[in-house]
Amino acid sequence: MSINLPEAMKVFVRVAELSSFTAAAEQLGLPRASVSAAVRQLEAELGVRLLHRTTRQVQMTQDGQVVYERAQDLLADLDDLRGLFRANPAQLRGRLRVDMPQAIARDVVLPALPAFLADHPALDIELSCVDRRVDLVAEGFDCVLRVGKLTDSSLIARPLGEYRMVNCASPAYLAAHGTPRSLDDLVRHRLVHYVPSLGARSTGFEYVDAQGKLHTVVMPGALTVNSTIAYEGAALAGLGIIQVPEVGVREHCAAGTLVEVLAAWRPPSMPVSLVYPHRRHLPMRAQVFMTWLAALMALRLEDASETGSLRSEAV
């Protein structure tokens, strides 16, 4: 039985996901022999071995893992092409791989995601939340939500707005060290240091003067973290002052578990952007998701045109 390349890729993906030729055949409604033939055809076409076959299990080879990732994207893109002129967006299908900060995923995206998936039931979303800058192209991301200044000119960025920043500390920390009233008071205080990766140097306490110029104050601190969740937790534990987006600590400030300090010396606002690879035709599933995400974020961000300098580190 002859099977075309897209069909062979579809069969291989299902075998790889189920680790079984028999289970894949049952799900696809094909004879087991046809499933085996499709995988052999794909291996012959690509010139690589895709699967390790034993009497008990089927596992992907290293090359098979690479082909599996690309096949998922290619099949999803083919679905996009076939449905380019569909009027019903619910027919969007395929895998969508996105990355965003943990706090945004937890507080903004995940609570709203059930309704989005109900509107697009054929989408399969892979959500990454890591405190590092992922490589969109090498790691196969459709889009990422980035907080901080952008540096990669090979990517396309869609500015969404900016986060207003504040300085905060816990009541316990302020009771032990006093409340700073001026920049001169910082010599008697500690900063919780945030760095993208351990070993990097913290910039210190950042603030913008009346003319919009950025300044930094070197400060001691007993703790350095590379996680935004740990950064907030350190302040709640009384380990020092932190500089964070106001929207992220609004509930803590309202509850009194964190207190804003040095309001006249706030850090510069941080830009928030949707970033995606430079592709001639952005998949419809990515376009729809980014439009939805931009609308969610609009309620939490300032208009970028109304703010001044930009902070250079991602949080």
Predicted confidence pLDDT, tens digits, the chain (315 residues): 455 888 888 888 888 888 888 888 887 888 988 888 889 888 888 888 989 887 677 889 988 888 888 887 787 777 666 665 555 555 777 788 899 988 899 889 999 999 999 999 988 899 998 877 887 776 778 899 998 888 766 788 899 999 999 999 999 999 999 999 999 999 999 999 998 888 888 889 999 998 889 999 999 998 999 888 899 999 999 999 999 999 889 999 999 999 999 999 999 999 999 998 765 567 788 889 999 999 999 888 875 444 333 222 332
Specify whether 76 is located in the same domain as 9: yes
Specify whether 155 is located in the same domain as 290: yes
Which residue, of 66, 82, 98, is where some domain finishes? 82
Specify whether 36 is located in the same domain as 78: yes
Q: Is residue 311 part of a domain?
A: no
Domain that holds residue 36: 5-82
CATH of the domain at 128: 3.40.190.10
Q: Is residue 99 part of a domain?
A: yes
pTM for this entry: 0.66
Specify whether 241 is located in the same domain as 279: no
Count CB-CB contacts under 10 A for residue 180: 20
Specify whether 214 is located in the same domain as 173: yes
Q: Is residue 313 part of a domain?
A: no
pLDDT tens digits for 95-113?
888 999 888 998 899 999 9
Q: What is the model's pLDDT at position 290?
A: 93
Q: What is the model's pLDDT at position 272?
A: 93
Specify whether 183 is located in the same domain as 257: yes
Q: What is the model's pLDDT at position 170?
A: 97
Q: What is the model's pLDDT at position 9?
A: 86
Which residue, of 82, 103, 119, is where some domain finishes? 82
CATH of the domain at 23: 1.10.10.10
Specify whether 158 is located in the same domain as 172: no
Q: What is the model's pLDDT at position 105?
A: 92
Q: What is the model's pLDDT at position 81?
A: 67
